[in-house]
Structure 1
């Protein structure tokens, strides 16, 4: 976590990722994502969400073969 990182609520984290609150709560419960406990409140750093997305980003497969579409007979 960076020192100037914004701490997001569960609702804000869900909106940031475009998911439901339930998904974020499951990530927290299963400890699949880092979070900060402030009393009874849970906060997630913006950089943690960015890292989570980057770690799960799948690069496209590039192929040199042509699919055959667009060829003139």
Structure 2
């Protein structure tokens, strides 16, 4: 896990795109869960670069914010 976290951090510093594994870690989801969301078109926006799916950090943050519920916003 630490390797994935360090790679995700390095990717964030150098590129706005994360791989699916990095994006899942960033969101606190399992890789399989994120893959299911992608297949059902219910997850964050993603792009396919060659054979690899990539997620833009802004898309991850927007999707995550849209999932929030409850509370008074304070």
Instruction: Output the TM-score relative to the length of structure 1.
Output: 0.70
Map 1:1-73 to 2 at 5 A: 6-32=16-42, 33-60=44-71
**Distance (whole Å) between structure 2 residues aligned to residue 46 and residue 23 of structure 1:** 18
CA distance in 1, matches of 2:63, 2:45: 9
Q: Distance in 2 between matches of 1:42 and 1:50?
A: 17
The alpha-carbon deviation at position 59 of structure 1 amounts to 3.1
CA distance in 1, matches of 2:37, 2:59: 12
Q: Which runs of 5+ in 1 are unaligned?
A: 62-73
Provide the C-alpha distance between the structure 2 equivalents of 1:46 and 1:27, rounded to a whole number of angstroms.
16
Q: Which has the higher helix share?
A: 2
Q: Which has the higher contact order (CA 8 A, sep 6+)?
A: 1
Aligned residues: 57
TM-score by length of 2: 0.69
